[in-house]
Amino acid sequence: MKRLYGLIAILVVFLGFAFVQESRPDSATKKPVPTVGILQLLSHPALDAIHKGIIHGLAEEGYHVNKNVKIDFQNAQNDQSNLKTMSARFVDEKADAMIGIATPSAQALANASSNIPVVLGAITDPKGADLVHSNEHPGNNVTGVSDQAPLKSQLKLIQKIMPKMQTLGIIYTSSDDSATAQYHQFAALCKQEHVRLKAYTIASTNDLNQVAQQMVSQVDAIYVPTDNTVASAMQTLVSTANAKKVPVFPAVDTMVKAGGLATLSINQYKLGVETGKMTAAILKGKNPADTPIHFERQGEMTINLTQAKKLGITLPDSVIQEAQKHGEVFK
Ligand code: TRP
Protein backbone atom coordinates (compact mmCIF):
# COMPACT_ATOMS: atom_id res chain seq x y z
CA MET A 1 0.00 0.00 0.00
CA LYS A 2 2.78 2.36 0.93
CA ARG A 3 4.40 1.62 -2.38
CA LEU A 4 1.22 2.46 -4.24
CA TYR A 5 1.00 5.87 -2.52
CA GLY A 6 4.58 6.44 -3.46
CA LEU A 7 3.85 5.68 -7.10
CA ILE A 8 0.77 7.90 -7.14
CA ALA A 9 2.78 10.73 -5.65
CA ILE A 10 5.42 10.39 -8.36
CA LEU A 11 2.72 10.34 -11.01
CA VAL A 12 1.07 13.48 -9.64
CA VAL A 13 4.36 15.34 -9.55
CA PHE A 14 5.16 14.20 -13.08
CA LEU A 15 1.76 15.22 -14.49
CA GLY A 16 1.95 18.55 -12.73
CA PHE A 17 5.33 19.17 -14.28
CA ALA A 18 4.08 18.21 -17.73
CA PHE A 19 1.13 20.58 -17.29
CA VAL A 20 3.38 23.49 -16.37
CA GLN A 21 5.56 22.79 -19.41
CA GLU A 22 2.50 22.63 -21.62
CA SER A 23 0.87 25.80 -20.37
CA ARG A 24 3.90 28.02 -20.70
CA PRO A 25 3.28 30.85 -23.15
CA ASP A 26 4.66 30.24 -26.66
CA SER A 27 7.08 33.11 -26.52
CA ALA A 28 9.08 31.51 -23.73
CA THR A 29 9.67 28.23 -25.54
CA LYS A 30 9.66 29.26 -29.22
CA LYS A 31 12.06 31.75 -30.75
CA PRO A 32 10.37 34.77 -32.33
CA VAL A 33 9.84 34.51 -36.10
CA PRO A 34 12.91 35.92 -37.94
CA THR A 35 12.50 38.81 -40.36
CA VAL A 36 14.20 38.84 -43.78
CA GLY A 37 14.27 42.09 -45.73
CA ILE A 38 14.47 41.66 -49.50
CA LEU A 39 15.47 44.71 -51.53
CA GLN A 40 14.99 44.41 -55.30
CA LEU A 41 16.40 47.15 -57.54
CA LEU A 42 13.52 47.17 -60.02
CA SER A 43 11.18 44.81 -61.81
CA HIS A 44 12.34 42.92 -64.86
CA PRO A 45 11.79 39.23 -65.62
CA ALA A 46 15.24 38.08 -64.39
CA LEU A 47 15.06 39.85 -61.04
CA ASP A 48 11.42 38.79 -60.59
CA ALA A 49 12.46 35.15 -61.20
CA ILE A 50 15.28 35.51 -58.66
CA HIS A 51 12.83 36.90 -56.07
CA LYS A 52 10.50 33.91 -56.60
CA GLY A 53 13.43 31.52 -56.37
CA ILE A 54 14.51 33.04 -53.04
CA ILE A 55 11.10 32.31 -51.47
CA HIS A 56 11.32 28.74 -52.80
CA GLY A 57 14.87 28.27 -51.49
CA LEU A 58 13.92 29.50 -48.01
CA ALA A 59 10.98 27.08 -47.96
CA GLU A 60 13.19 24.19 -49.07
CA GLU A 61 15.27 24.81 -45.96
CA GLY A 62 12.26 25.01 -43.66
CA TYR A 63 11.44 28.75 -43.66
CA HIS A 64 7.86 29.24 -44.80
CA VAL A 65 6.55 32.75 -45.41
CA ASN A 66 4.01 33.89 -42.81
CA LYS A 67 4.59 30.73 -40.79
CA ASN A 68 8.10 30.81 -39.42
CA VAL A 69 9.72 33.64 -41.37
CA LYS A 70 8.55 37.18 -42.03
CA ILE A 71 9.49 38.67 -45.39
CA ASP A 72 9.63 42.42 -45.86
CA PHE A 73 9.86 42.80 -49.65
CA GLN A 74 10.71 46.20 -51.11
CA ASN A 75 11.07 47.21 -54.77
CA ALA A 76 13.15 50.37 -55.22
CA GLN A 77 11.82 51.13 -58.74
CA ASN A 78 15.41 51.82 -59.83
CA ASP A 79 15.63 54.86 -57.57
CA GLN A 80 18.74 55.55 -55.51
CA SER A 81 16.94 57.38 -52.70
CA ASN A 82 14.43 54.53 -52.40
CA LEU A 83 17.34 52.12 -51.98
CA LYS A 84 18.58 54.20 -49.09
CA THR A 85 15.30 54.61 -47.21
CA MET A 86 14.33 50.99 -47.72
CA SER A 87 17.69 49.76 -46.41
CA ALA A 88 17.30 52.02 -43.35
CA ARG A 89 13.83 50.59 -42.80
CA PHE A 90 15.22 47.03 -42.59
CA VAL A 91 17.84 48.16 -40.08
CA ASP A 92 15.16 49.95 -38.00
CA GLU A 93 13.00 46.86 -37.86
CA LYS A 94 16.06 44.82 -36.79
CA ALA A 95 15.90 42.39 -39.69
CA ASP A 96 17.72 39.11 -39.04
CA ALA A 97 19.04 39.03 -42.61
CA MET A 98 18.77 41.26 -45.66
CA ILE A 99 18.91 40.16 -49.29
CA GLY A 100 19.93 42.51 -52.09
CA ILE A 101 18.75 41.63 -55.60
CA ALA A 102 21.10 43.35 -58.11
CA THR A 103 24.31 45.22 -57.30
CA PRO A 104 22.96 48.67 -56.30
CA SER A 105 20.56 47.06 -53.79
CA ALA A 106 23.32 45.00 -52.24
CA GLN A 107 25.54 48.07 -51.98
CA ALA A 108 22.79 50.07 -50.28
CA LEU A 109 22.24 47.27 -47.73
CA ALA A 110 25.95 46.86 -47.05
CA ASN A 111 26.23 50.61 -46.48
CA ALA A 112 23.28 50.57 -44.10
CA SER A 113 24.65 47.96 -41.70
CA SER A 114 27.92 46.32 -40.85
CA ASN A 115 26.45 43.65 -38.59
CA ILE A 116 23.12 42.43 -40.01
CA PRO A 117 23.96 39.66 -42.52
CA VAL A 118 23.56 40.78 -46.14
CA VAL A 119 23.00 38.07 -48.75
CA LEU A 120 23.81 38.90 -52.36
CA GLY A 121 21.07 37.83 -54.75
CA ALA A 122 22.75 37.39 -58.14
CA ILE A 123 25.55 39.95 -58.00
CA THR A 124 27.92 39.65 -60.93
CA ASP A 125 31.15 40.83 -59.36
CA PRO A 126 30.96 40.99 -55.53
CA LYS A 127 34.65 41.81 -55.16
CA GLY A 128 34.67 44.43 -57.93
CA ALA A 129 31.60 46.09 -56.39
CA ASP A 130 33.50 46.38 -53.07
CA LEU A 131 31.06 44.11 -51.30
CA VAL A 132 33.52 41.48 -50.06
CA HIS A 133 37.25 41.21 -49.35
CA SER A 134 37.47 38.12 -51.50
CA ASN A 135 35.02 35.64 -52.99
CA GLU A 136 36.54 32.80 -50.94
CA HIS A 137 36.64 34.70 -47.62
CA PRO A 138 34.15 37.55 -47.74
CA GLY A 139 35.38 38.78 -44.35
CA ASN A 140 32.45 40.90 -43.14
CA ASN A 141 28.66 40.61 -42.87
CA VAL A 142 28.20 40.13 -46.62
CA THR A 143 28.16 36.95 -48.73
CA GLY A 144 25.86 35.41 -51.34
CA VAL A 145 25.40 34.22 -54.89
CA SER A 146 27.01 35.47 -58.09
CA ASP A 147 25.32 35.28 -61.48
CA GLN A 148 28.58 35.62 -63.44
CA ALA A 149 27.60 34.44 -66.94
CA PRO A 150 29.68 31.87 -68.88
CA LEU A 151 30.92 34.48 -71.35
CA LYS A 152 33.26 32.22 -73.28
CA SER A 153 30.57 29.64 -74.04
CA GLN A 154 28.21 32.46 -74.94
CA LEU A 155 30.66 33.92 -77.46
CA LYS A 156 31.24 30.45 -78.93
CA LEU A 157 27.51 29.98 -79.34
CA ILE A 158 27.17 33.30 -81.18
CA GLN A 159 30.00 32.28 -83.53
CA LYS A 160 28.37 28.91 -84.12
CA ILE A 161 25.01 30.46 -85.04
CA MET A 162 26.57 33.36 -87.00
CA PRO A 163 29.60 31.86 -88.81
CA LYS A 164 29.79 34.81 -91.24
CA MET A 165 29.59 37.51 -88.58
CA GLN A 166 31.93 40.46 -89.21
CA THR A 167 31.08 42.80 -86.36
CA LEU A 168 29.46 42.05 -83.05
CA GLY A 169 27.83 44.91 -81.15
CA ILE A 170 27.51 45.09 -77.38
CA ILE A 171 25.12 47.46 -75.65
CA TYR A 172 25.16 48.33 -71.95
CA THR A 173 24.41 51.04 -69.42
CA SER A 174 27.50 52.98 -68.40
CA SER A 175 26.35 53.38 -64.77
CA ASP A 176 25.53 49.66 -64.31
CA ASP A 177 28.48 48.04 -62.47
CA SER A 178 27.36 44.54 -63.30
CA ALA A 179 27.08 45.24 -67.04
CA THR A 180 30.30 47.27 -67.16
CA ALA A 181 32.26 44.49 -65.44
CA GLN A 182 30.97 42.05 -68.03
CA TYR A 183 31.69 44.41 -70.89
CA HIS A 184 35.37 44.54 -69.90
CA GLN A 185 35.63 40.77 -69.64
CA PHE A 186 33.74 40.23 -72.87
CA ALA A 187 35.88 42.75 -74.75
CA ALA A 188 39.06 41.00 -73.59
CA LEU A 189 37.62 37.70 -74.73
CA CYS A 190 36.70 39.04 -78.18
CA LYS A 191 40.19 40.42 -78.60
CA GLN A 192 41.64 37.04 -77.75
CA GLU A 193 39.29 35.29 -80.21
CA HIS A 194 39.78 37.93 -82.96
CA VAL A 195 36.14 38.95 -82.97
CA ARG A 196 35.51 42.58 -83.92
CA LEU A 197 33.46 44.11 -81.10
CA LYS A 198 31.80 47.50 -81.24
CA ALA A 199 30.52 48.96 -77.95
CA TYR A 200 27.45 51.14 -77.50
CA THR A 201 26.52 52.69 -74.17
CA ILE A 202 23.29 54.18 -72.89
CA ALA A 203 22.60 56.32 -69.81
CA SER A 204 19.00 55.19 -69.32
CA THR A 205 16.08 53.63 -71.19
CA ASN A 206 15.43 57.09 -72.67
CA ASP A 207 18.27 56.78 -75.14
CA LEU A 208 17.97 53.05 -75.78
CA ASN A 209 15.90 53.44 -78.94
CA GLN A 210 18.20 55.99 -80.52
CA VAL A 211 21.41 54.11 -79.70
CA ALA A 212 19.86 50.83 -80.85
CA GLN A 213 18.86 52.42 -84.17
CA GLN A 214 22.44 53.44 -84.78
CA MET A 215 23.81 50.08 -83.67
CA VAL A 216 21.63 47.87 -85.87
CA SER A 217 22.91 49.54 -89.01
CA GLN A 218 26.54 48.89 -88.04
CA VAL A 219 26.67 45.34 -86.64
CA ASP A 220 25.69 41.78 -87.64
CA ALA A 221 24.67 40.61 -84.19
CA ILE A 222 24.18 42.10 -80.73
CA TYR A 223 25.35 40.82 -77.35
CA VAL A 224 23.66 42.08 -74.17
CA PRO A 225 25.25 41.49 -70.74
CA THR A 226 23.27 41.27 -67.49
CA ASP A 227 22.28 44.91 -67.68
CA ASN A 228 19.37 45.92 -65.46
CA THR A 229 18.28 48.80 -67.69
CA VAL A 230 18.32 46.89 -70.98
CA ALA A 231 16.68 43.90 -69.27
CA SER A 232 13.77 46.14 -68.31
CA ALA A 233 13.34 47.39 -71.87
CA MET A 234 14.11 44.37 -74.04
CA GLN A 235 11.08 45.01 -76.27
CA THR A 236 12.53 48.35 -77.40
CA LEU A 237 15.84 46.76 -78.34
CA VAL A 238 14.30 43.69 -79.96
CA SER A 239 11.82 45.55 -82.15
CA THR A 240 14.57 47.85 -83.43
CA ALA A 241 16.88 44.89 -84.09
CA ASN A 242 14.13 42.80 -85.73
CA ALA A 243 13.43 45.59 -88.20
CA LYS A 244 16.98 45.15 -89.53
CA LYS A 245 17.02 41.36 -88.97
CA VAL A 246 19.88 41.61 -86.50
CA PRO A 247 19.79 38.87 -83.83
CA VAL A 248 20.13 39.73 -80.13
CA PHE A 249 22.14 37.32 -77.97
CA PRO A 250 21.53 38.13 -74.31
CA ALA A 251 23.40 36.86 -71.28
CA VAL A 252 20.35 35.26 -69.66
CA ASP A 253 17.41 32.95 -70.35
CA THR A 254 14.71 35.44 -69.33
CA MET A 255 15.98 37.86 -71.99
CA VAL A 256 15.73 35.12 -74.62
CA LYS A 257 12.11 34.69 -73.66
CA ALA A 258 11.71 38.47 -74.07
CA GLY A 259 12.95 38.36 -77.68
CA GLY A 260 16.59 37.32 -77.66
CA LEU A 261 17.57 34.56 -80.11
CA ALA A 262 19.68 32.20 -78.01
CA THR A 263 22.05 31.90 -75.09
CA LEU A 264 23.81 29.52 -72.77
CA SER A 265 22.56 30.83 -69.50
CA ILE A 266 22.54 30.42 -65.77
CA ASN A 267 18.95 29.73 -64.78
CA GLN A 268 17.76 32.89 -63.02
CA TYR A 269 15.20 31.13 -60.84
CA LYS A 270 17.86 28.70 -59.66
CA LEU A 271 20.09 31.61 -58.65
CA GLY A 272 17.26 32.76 -56.43
CA VAL A 273 16.84 29.29 -54.92
CA GLU A 274 20.55 29.20 -54.01
CA THR A 275 20.26 32.68 -52.49
CA GLY A 276 17.28 31.56 -50.39
CA LYS A 277 19.13 28.47 -49.19
CA MET A 278 22.18 30.47 -48.21
CA THR A 279 19.96 32.92 -46.32
CA ALA A 280 18.41 29.97 -44.44
CA ALA A 281 21.85 28.69 -43.47
CA ILE A 282 22.73 32.15 -42.14
CA LEU A 283 19.48 32.36 -40.16
CA LYS A 284 20.51 29.06 -38.60
CA GLY A 285 23.79 30.59 -37.48
CA LYS A 286 26.27 30.37 -40.36
CA ASN A 287 28.71 33.29 -40.41
CA PRO A 288 28.77 35.30 -43.67
CA ALA A 289 32.40 36.31 -43.08
CA ASP A 290 33.64 32.81 -43.84
CA THR A 291 30.93 31.62 -46.23
CA PRO A 292 32.36 31.74 -49.78
CA ILE A 293 30.43 33.35 -52.64
CA HIS A 294 28.45 30.69 -54.50
CA PHE A 295 29.01 30.59 -58.27
CA GLU A 296 26.52 28.76 -60.46
CA ARG A 297 28.64 27.15 -63.17
CA GLN A 298 26.16 25.20 -65.23
CA GLY A 299 24.79 27.04 -68.27
CA GLU A 300 21.60 25.88 -69.99
CA MET A 301 20.96 26.21 -73.73
CA THR A 302 18.00 28.53 -74.24
CA ILE A 303 16.52 29.35 -77.65
CA ASN A 304 13.60 31.32 -79.06
CA LEU A 305 12.16 29.69 -82.17
CA THR A 306 9.76 32.54 -82.95
CA GLN A 307 12.71 34.87 -83.15
CA ALA A 308 14.69 32.44 -85.35
CA LYS A 309 11.79 32.39 -87.79
CA LYS A 310 11.36 36.18 -87.74
CA LEU A 311 15.05 36.69 -88.42
CA GLY A 312 15.26 33.94 -91.02
CA ILE A 313 18.07 32.23 -89.10
CA THR A 314 18.41 28.44 -89.07
CA LEU A 315 19.68 27.29 -85.70
CA PRO A 316 22.14 24.37 -85.85
CA ASP A 317 20.50 21.03 -84.99
CA SER A 318 22.94 20.43 -82.16
CA VAL A 319 21.84 23.69 -80.52
CA ILE A 320 18.14 22.84 -80.86
CA GLN A 321 18.66 19.35 -79.49
CA GLU A 322 20.69 20.59 -76.54
CA ALA A 323 17.97 23.13 -75.70
CA GLN A 324 15.27 20.45 -75.97
CA LYS A 325 17.15 17.99 -73.79
CA HIS A 326 18.75 20.09 -71.08
CA GLY A 327 17.57 23.66 -71.57
CA GLU A 328 14.60 25.75 -72.60
CA VAL A 329 12.84 26.29 -75.91
CA PHE A 330 10.58 29.33 -76.28
CA LYS A 331 8.08 29.19 -79.13
N1 TRP B 1 23.85 40.74 -61.96
C2 TRP B 1 23.01 41.91 -61.90
C3 TRP B 1 23.63 42.87 -60.90
O4 TRP B 1 24.54 42.51 -60.21
C5 TRP B 1 21.62 41.54 -61.52
C6 TRP B 1 21.02 40.58 -62.49
C7 TRP B 1 20.82 39.26 -62.26
C8 TRP B 1 20.60 40.85 -63.83
N9 TRP B 1 20.27 38.68 -63.37
C10 TRP B 1 20.14 39.60 -64.34
C11 TRP B 1 20.58 41.98 -64.65
C12 TRP B 1 19.66 39.52 -65.65
C13 TRP B 1 20.09 41.86 -65.94
C14 TRP B 1 19.64 40.64 -66.43
O15 TRP B 1 23.19 43.99 -60.81
pLDDT value of position 6: 60
Does 227 sit in the ligand 1 pocket, CB within 6 Å?
A: yes
pLDDT value of position 3: 61
Does 105 sit in the ligand 1 pocket, CB within 6 Å?
A: no
Q: Measure the CA angle with vertex 283, ends 92 and 30; round to 5°.
A: 90
CA separation for the pair 181, 164 (Å, rounded): 28
Left, alpha or beta for 8 (phi > 0: left; psi -120 to 50: alpha)? alpha
What are the structural domains, with CATH classification, of the chain? 35-147+268-295 (3.40.50.2300), 151-265+299-330 (3.40.50.2300)
pTM of the entire predicted model: 0.90
Task: Report the candidate in 124, 156, 148, 173 with the shortest Cα–Cα distance to residue 262.
Answer: 156
Check if the beta carbon of residue 162 is closer than 8 Å to that of residue 220.
Answer: yes
Identify the sign of the CA torsion 305, 309, 311, 317: positive
CA–centroid distance, 118 to ligand 1, in Å, is 17
Q: Measure the CA angle with vertex 176, ends 276 and 81; round to 5°.
A: 75
Mutate to test the pocket of ligand 1, among 38, 47, 52 (most ligand atoms within 8 A of CB): 47
* DSSP label at residue 65: B
pLDDT value of position 297: 83
Left, alpha or beta for 240 (phi > 0: left; psi -120 to 50: alpha)? alpha
Query: Within its chain, how far is the Cα of 20 from the centroid?
Result: 48
Does 226 sit in the ligand 1 pocket, CB within 6 Å?
A: yes
Task: Report the candidate in 144, 173, 181 with the shortest Cα–Cα distance to residue 38.
Answer: 144
Measured by CA distance, the residue closest to atom 13 of ligand 1 is 226
Does 232 sit in the ligand 1 pocket, CB within 6 Å?
A: no
pLDDT value of position 63: 98
Cα torsion through 95, 143, 270, 305, rounded to 10: 120
pLDDT value of position 28: 47
| Concatenated DSSP letters of 77-108 | TT-HHHHHHHHHHHHHTT-SEEEEESHHHHHH
First to last CA, the chain: 85
Tell me which H or E stretch contains 9: helix 2-23
Measured by CA distance, the residue closest to atom 3 of ligand 1 is 102
pLDDT value of position 30: 56
Task: Report the candidate in 173, 200, 208, 185 with the shortest Cα–Cα distance to residue 78.
Answer: 173
User: If the chain, 331 residues long, is cut into consecutive pieces of 10 residues, what is the mean pLDDT of each piece?
Assistant: 57 50 47 93 98 98 96 97 98 98 98 98 96 97 97 97 98 96 97 98 97 98 98 97 98 97 96 98 98 93 98 98 97 94
Mutate to test the pocket of ligand 1, among 50, 147, 256 (most ligand atoms within 8 A of CB): 147
